[in-house]
Amino acid sequence: MPYVNVGKENSSNIELYYEDHGSGDPVVLIHGYPLSGASWEKQLPALLAAGHRVITYDRRGFGKSSQPTTGYNYDTFAEDLHKLVTHLKLRNFALVGFSMGGGEVARYIGKYGSKDVSKAVFVSSVPPFLLKTADNQEGVEASVFEGIQKAVAADRYAFFTDFFKSFYNTDVLSGKRISEQAVQASWNVAASASATASLACVPTWHEDFRKDLARVDVPTLVIHGDADRIVPIGASGQRTAKLVRGARLVVIKDGPHAVTWTHADEVNPELVNFLGKSVAKQAASAHQKETAA
């Protein structure tokens, strides 16, 4: 299995697990909490069919990546992403972040600029700034995040059970757009995550990404469900679309947080249309037409 070394903790290497499929213009998919790169399974076939090279990876502490007790902040997450991109020698790549992953997209461009980044996509993402403060009245009260931290610390397994109810809006969508088995599969992935990471990531959700978004100067797409109970669209997606010059906002009607799964039939065409058919795919198609002629 492919790994990239992103650091050390005492005698142990910190390694990120990644998958690298297809050919063409690269697309890096960055997952949300508390899942892994495998959570993009409904987007992978669509992007591969459009001729893209698709890279997924597991954030430190999650999935098949190392589980250190350090580095759970967005500066480090962005550094981890940069090391992966450098390791793979990516050029002209798109960054697509879901939920927490949107923070990586913002902080990566805020920290490293948009060199070699072709496009940016924020899906149900945490930017621009989720915490309510004097200069951020649209944010969420600090007590909400404190309550989540207490619940994770007390019994993360029980927390995950409740979390996924709101993640997928199971009271409305169970048996229609999400099965009990799919929810259970998500719980299984979450349960295998690092206990340290499960707790330490919660306060990162309300980091301030406003300055990072000001540096985003590539074509940008924002996708958000209007029934998102985890990251309310009014505090996030709508504001991100306003803060990034020229960004396009796509609102998924009745979409929960995990629109990538429940509303993949609506999300995928928007994603593919925005990212475009890969140059390699277009060239191959043109060649086939010439050959047929």
- Residues tagged active-site: 99, 228, 257
Distance of alpha carbon 213 from alpha carbon 18, whole angstroms: 26
Three-class secondary structure of residue 119 per DSSP: strand
DSSP 8-class letter at 204: G
SS3 string, 16-83, reads EEEEEECCCCEEEEECCCCCCHHHHCCCHHHHHHCCCEEEEECCCCCCCCCCCCCCCCHHHHHHHHHH
The packing angle between helices 74-87 and 100-112, to 10°, is 70
Distance of alpha carbon 85 from alpha carbon 20, whole angstroms: 11
**Residue 187: count of CB within 10 angstroms of its CB:** 16
In sequence order, the β-bridge partners of residue 7 are: 14
DSSP notation for 234-272: GGTHHHHHHHSTT-EEEEETT--TTHHHHTHHHHHHHHH
Distance of alpha carbon 56 from alpha carbon 45, whole angstroms: 13
In sequence order, the β-bridge partners of residue 56 are: 19, 29
In sequence order, the β-bridge partners of residue 94 are: 27, 119
Burial class (CB in 10 A: 0-12, 13-18, 19+), 34: buried
The owner of tokens 């450098």 is 86
